[in-house]
Structure 1
Amino acid sequence: MFVYFLSFALILAVCVDLSLFYASGLVVTHSVLGHFARLWVSAALRFLALTAVGLLILGNLPLLLVRFVTAYSLVPVVFETGTKVIYHEETQCSQLVDVRCWLMCAGASLAAALFWEITIPDTKEEAAGKKRKQKARVQFMRVLRLFKPDYPLLLGGLVFLSLAVLCEMFIPFYTGRVIDILGGHYQQNEFLSALLFMGLYSVGSSVSAGCRGGVLLCAISSFTCRMKGKLFEALTKQEIGFFETTKTGEITSRLSKDTTLMARTVCLNVNVLLRTFIKTMGMISLMMNLSWKLTFLVLMETPITGLIQNIYDTHYQKLSLAIQDSMALANEAASEVVSGVQVVRSFNSEKHEARRYDKRMMDTHNLKIRRDIVTSVYLLARRLTGLSMQVIMLYYGRLFIQRGQMTTGNLVSFILYQSDLGRNIRTLIYIFGDMLNSVGAAGKVFEYLDRKPEVSTDGKLKPDQLTGHVSFWHLNFAYPANPDKTVLQDFSLELKPGQMTALVGPSGEGKSTCVSLLQRFYEPQDGEILLDNEPLKSYDHRFLHKKVAVVSQDPVLFSGSVRDNIAYGLSECSLDEIQEAARKANAADFISQLQKGYDTEVGEGGGQLSKSEKQRIAIARALVRQPQVLILDEITSSLDTESENKVQEALARSNQTLLVIAHKLKTIEKADQIVVIGGGRVEERGTHQELMDLKGSYYRLRAKLFTDDPDERSNIDLEFM
């Protein structure tokens, strides 16, 4: 029913409008009103009549319909008035009443209304669009300011760009001159002069374009290198929780791809924008001199092209963002497999990982296919539009030549300009979409650059003396990746200077979490940690991590020499200090036997060394800092008995605060304080003998976890079953 109703409304509106159209023609025929009066009265009547029909039948006019009626009423009158005022001529449609003119005006008005609707949205879409454009402008200006060190290169590129455009604009003009000279009365001097100027402009355009490209590529390279350094520095300052919640593939994608897209925002896009804009304005002025009528005809293609381009940009940008996210997921899958290839191999999961990676790549492939289909449809529509305009232009060009309004050479020059003009207008429209895409990439980089670490490093405290007294006060903590699971609950603990505290308990109960919090990898949700009665966050970041050192169970070494790994993070560290730390860690002997001693390369991840050797270098790396608080996370599991005894002897002679996580009974028995952690709380604390006499949690854990003799362990396990 609604369809029939709408069809009736459309037919009625067409009948009313056609009646007014022919009535205005009768007014012209009988010269009842002046030309301008007739035009504007007719436009007002058509607007009022169509609005009245719409309100009577539909009750409410949609904004798109209002825009169409407005454009439909004003486009013909504005065009006729402009032609009469500027060129003192009347168009054929103003002199004759023809249905073809009515259809042409209706089509142009519909295109204008649709172009308006897409480029200038309403209500919520309008507000969102303005906000998005404002954000894009702010980001663009920020990118431009970051180019400040490269301003001389950008200025040089702008100069060469202007020269290239000016030279290129005059080549079609002299091409037409040559054709006119050859087709008319041949004069050798004029012919040679035209050829000379054509050659000079061609050479000037080519040389300037080449110089422009080279200078701007240098600016892109310089900016990209600088931005990658800034982004990497910002990433290294983020807290550990950031890397747990942010995927590796996404981070590497921002570093490798988005920084390059940022450089394109200014160097390539603005270069193309300025070049195309200057060239377009120059071409339009030259085309107006050749034939203003053909120029207006050609410019009618612009709103249609803009409409097609806007639709294309909307879909293309959505698909491009989806492809970027999909590629980040694929990169993450590949990075996980490469970094954990030993685990993959040991669990025979090669085919599973290959299928997982293939699925990620297929998702990316499907998105790219959709993007390519959208591009193909866009190119087809664009070329059909351009071809139609060329046919119409050639038809009217032939008429103008027959009437003597232009020469053959002028038409050839006009055709050459028109082919470039259409491409330039499409480029102008396209480049805005591409700039939004590039600025979008810049926005993702700026998110990381502007991100403030949740664990602040703004502390300034650097006392001359530090005793190493550590206090955990009523901590409540949950990891950022899993905020619903509380790991520590009302946790309190005291580490005294010169004493060794051993943390024991089942896996996953909070031992390693205490170590991470003491290193300020995370910030507790409640409570605080004090070092010498001062909050950890009050201390200078570098000072704190020099005085609080950790040796983990699986130490990480970096590519470089043994010396570099021991002195890692210390700008001033003498060879004597390195050798002393290596001696305490029982690493001096095996280092001296290496081919280049302390200058021997350890390989990627320390791959040239055994696990025991890596462990001892990690211990030396911690000891060379002369820390006041030393954390040892199950370090003796990779050491032989001799190395373990020497390390413990060296640590016993120091006045450091030791926090140890160990699974060997003999290591724990030597502790001044043993703390049993269960359920995120301190269940028991005391010396080995005190806790054994208590026969509580520690007594049972000793039977299950800390028995070195397998036979004894079996007997104790049986006793408690």
Structure 2
Amino acid sequence: MQVPVGEGALVCTGPAMALPSAGLLPGLLLVADAVALVLLVPLVPVLTPLGVAGVWLEAALRLPVLTVATWLLAPRRPPGAIAAAFTVAATPAAFGTFRYLLGLSGAGPGLLAAASPAWLGVTHVAAVLALLAWAPPPVPGGVPETPSNVPKAPGTVRRVLALTWEERNVLGAAVLCLVLAAIGETLGPYVTGKVLDAIRSGDGLTAGAVGMVAAAGATSVLFSGCRGCFFLLLKARLRQSLSLRLFSHLVHQDLDFFQGTPAAELLARFSTEVPRVCSAAPTGANQLLRSLVMALVVGAFMVGLAPGLALLALLEVPLGITTRRIQSAREQALQRSMLEASARTASGVQESVGAIETIRIFSAEEEEEKQHSCNLAKELKLKEQMELEMAFFTLVHRMLHLTIRVLVLFQSHQQLRDATITAGVLVTFLLYQDTVGSHVQVLLYGFNEFLTNAAAGQKIWEYLDRKPTRDVGGTREPPKLQGHVTFQKVSFTYPGNPERPVLKDVTFEVRSGEVTALAGPNGSGKSTAVALLERLRDPESGKVLLDGIPLPEYEHQYLHRKVVLVEQDPILFSGTIRENILLGLEHCKESELQEATTAAGAMDFIQGLEQGWDTEVGEYGGRLAAGERRRVALARALLRRPAVLILDEVLDDGDEAAAQRWVRSGLAQTVLVVSHRSRVLDAADCLVVLEHGAVVETGTSAELRERCGAYSRLLLGGGSTEAPRMGSEEGTASGRE
């Protein structure tokens, strides 16, 4: 615990900001309490005859003064300030009541205003314990701090409970079985004690008594099994629901989100955090509700059997909650750090495996091994810290449990000698004590586990709360499109490099029924223009029109069925060739499939494969050659008969006439070709030449050659007159340019 430095100066910032205030709070409460007690001295003669009621009335009169004192620390008042004030006010009254109900000899503290000053010190030690229990712990060394925009634990708990409530039918059935099982489990020790007293009194063991014991046990076993089945079903349904919701939300995010979030991190959320979040409520309810019901019912039976022993035995509950709260806060902080460290390790492994050829080329194996070793070492350090703290707190809990048990045995011995309880009552009480002790431990551990698992979903809820910046609320779905594209003074700059505009007032047309080629040196903005036409991004200024209508006005799925992009290195999905070509099309005639595949030039190599259409392409199409993947992607695009077909470095020499054939046959209304190959460019009906993000020439290939301008320089330079700038946004957006 840190203390103030100088005159009110506070040390630390960020998450540990509460610790200096927490260090100042006990002293402030001590002064405020001393003032309150001085003011209460005249009321001692009035409160003393009231007994226990007078003690609690004194506590009620001190509480407002203590609460007002905590306001002096605003706005840096620690989270446990109010809890500490209540603890200071209630400790003397609770202790006096406890001694009175136990019937212990000797005078209790009575009124704090009339007691020894030592009692004031004892009271404020309890306040320090409250602060330790409720103030957030310091962030461990080397552990990244939680960003301010990440939801905190109470928010995650609320979200988990709301998610669970959606399956309230299954939850209700599980809770019903839980209550019935708890009733059967509770009746077992009670019936056992009654049977023992009957035997001792000479009544003997009867069939009815045995039947009652058996019935209680059978009820507990039967409904415990049903309870477990329902909670497992609830966990499975929650996992399915949350996984689907998270995936559906992520696929609608902007490209900037995926470029800034490693795929391994997203995979870790699905494989690690979703199961933990979905197990929080079912496991917590299974453990916590059962243990809470059992602890309350068994506690009530214990109070009915022996009130004094019950109060002594149940003293373990508040002490256990205090230590468990401290452990829970520590474990949640370390658990968040472990999840972040695991995500970084997984991301590093995926990045290294994906770039293994580059690592081999530059002999960077040792550097990658060192980085991976460093990531693993950080994980191990956090894991060791978690295990050490868990061992320490386990020792504390067990010592606390042992101490309470010894006190109960000592007190029960005294009551047996005084004949205030019978042997049967003592056996029943000890059985109940074991039961309630185990359930209190489950409550403490289960609540901690529930909070930890719920806190594991902070990133999940952050993803679900993230809203795409682009508007995808268009509604237009015309029955037919001409495929006429217009760029009107379009400008665009990537967020990561705002000082370098990629497109500057770009204006050109792609006319329907024609093949238009987009040419230019590397870094001139061709791929960015394609991304804008595909509406993967939106322009900062200007408009991109399709048949005279801005792209945002079209319905999202409709637009991407009509404007189709085929890239130089297309992505195929795991599955067969047929499944990849038919991707997203539920109903398609075999004749249409054959026509599109033949037009794409893929039929020959497909028929030459041993399994033909049913050949597995592997992950990302890795079992096919690059050219074969392009042919499959072309067939996939042509099968949709798009209004605008975009070919980004797809056509090779010898394929230059293919685009014209597709337009004439009606497989595509309009074709936009991006290429560096002169033969492909010469075959286009119109050329648009870009340089430094601006349109510098438009016209046919023959016209542009005669001008001896930018297009001629491009051809003389071999199609690559300007190298991409290292780290440029367009370079990162398209590795081809």
In the aligned structure 2, how far is the partner of 1:478 from the partner of 1:522?
A: 10
Q: Secondary structure at the residue paired with 1:188?
A: coil
Amino acid at match of 1:488: L
Amino acid at match of 1:165: A
Match of 1:278 among 270, 282, 293: 293
Q: In the alignment, what sits opposite 1:686?
A: 699
Residue type of the partner of 1:157?
A
The one-character-per-residue Cα deviations of 1:280-324 (angstroms, maximum 9, x if unpaired) are 111111111221011111222222211111111111111111111
Which amino acid letter does the alignment assign opposite residue 169 of structure 1?
T
Change (3 A) 1:658 1:46: closer
Selected match of 2:315 from 300, 323, 336: 300
- 1:587 has 2:602 as partner: yes
Aligned to 1:310: 325
Distance change (3 Å), C-alpha of 1:341 and 1:178: farther
What are the ranges of 5 or more consecutive residues in structure 1 without an aligned counterpart?
123-127, 709-721
Instruction: Give the 5 Å matches for 1:383-462.
Output: 383-462=398-477
Query: Residue type of the partner of 2:330?
Result: H
CA contact (8 A) 1:115 1:306 kept: no
Q: Does the residue aligned with 2:688 lie in a helix, a strand or coil?
A: strand
Q: Which of 604, 607, 622 is 2:619 aligned to?
A: 604
Count how many residue pairs are aligned between Structure 1 and Structure 2: 666
Percent identity of paired positions between Structure 1 and Structure 2: 31
* Counterparts of 1:349 and 1:193, CA distance in 2: 80
Q: Which residue of 1 aligns with 2:493?
A: 478
Q: SS in structure 1 opposite 2:106?
A: helix
Deviates more, 1:588-597 or 1:216-225: 588-597
Deviation of residue 514 (structure 1)? 0.9
Q: Which AA in structure 1 matches 2:477? A: K
Residue type of the alignment partner of 2:176: V
SS of residue paired to 2:501: coil
Q: Aligned pair 1:669/2:685, yes or no?
A: no
On the 8 A contact 2:513/2:670 being kept in 1, the answer is: yes
Deviations 1:54-87 (A, max 9, x none): x9xxx99999999879756754445546886xx7
* 8 Å contact kept, 2:574–2:621: yes
| Alpha-carbon offset, residue 642 of structure 1 | 5.0
In the alignment, the residues of structure 2 paired with residue 673 and residue 47 of structure 1 have an alpha-carbon distance, to the nearest angstrom, of 88
How far apart are 1:141 and its partner, in Å? Answer: 4.1
Counterpart in the other structure of 1:125 = none
Structure 2 counterpart SS, 1:663 = coil
User: Greater shift after overlay, 309-318 or 462-471?
Assistant: 462-471
**For 1:43 and 1:457, how far apart are their aligned partners in 2?**
62
Q: For residue 175 of structure 1, report the CA deviation from its aligned partner.
A: 4.2
TM-score (structure 1 length as normaliser): 0.81
> Deviation of residue 388 (structure 1)?
1.3
Q: 2:245 aligns with which of 209, 220, 230?
A: 230
User: For residues 700 and 679 of structure 1, do their structure 2 counterparts lie closer, same or farther at Cα, with a shift above 3 Å needed?
Assistant: same
Is the aligned partner of 1:576 residue 2:576?
no
RMSD value, Cα: 4.1
Greater Cα offset, 685-694 or 157-166: 685-694
Matched position secondary structure for 2:205: helix
Q: State the partner residue of 2:177.
A: 160
Which of 475, 485, 509 lines up with 1:494 in the alignment? 509
The question of whether the paired residues in 2 share the 8 Å contact of 1:143 and 1:442 is answered with: no
Q: In the alignment, which residue of structure 1 is the partner of 2:164?
A: 144
Q: Which residue of 2 aligns with 1:205?
A: 220
Q: Unaligned stretches of 5+ in structure 2? A: 6-22, 137-147, 722-737
Aligned to 1:621: 636
More helix by share: 1
Q: CA deviation at 1:480?
A: 4.5
Comparing 224-233 with 279-288, greater Cα deviation is found at: 224-233
Tell me which residue corresponds to 2:519: 504
- The one-letter code matched in structure 2 to 1:384 is M
Cα offsets for 1:187-208 (capped at 9, x unmatched)? 4325x65554334323332232
Greater alpha carbon shift after TM alignment, 109-118 vs 619-628? 109-118
Q: 1:377 aligns with which of 389, 392, 396?
A: 392
Distance 1:179 1:521, change over 3 A: same
| Residue pair 1:509, 1:678 contacting (<8 A) in 2 also | yes
Distance across 2 between alignment mates of 1:49 and 1:345? 73
Shift of 1:650: 4.0
C-alpha displacement at 1:700, in angstroms? Answer: 2.5
**1:248 corresponding residue in structure 2:** 263
2:155 corresponds to 1:135: yes
Q: After superposition, where does 1:247-266 map in structure 2 within 5 Å?
A: 247-266=262-281
Give the Cα–Cα distance (whole angstroms) in 2 for the partners of residues 596 and 68 of structure 1. Answer: 74
CA distance in 2, matches of 1:376, 1:557: 50
**Match for residue 205 of structure 2?**
189
Please give the TM-score of this superposition, normalised by the length of structure 2: 0.79
2:337 is aligned to 322
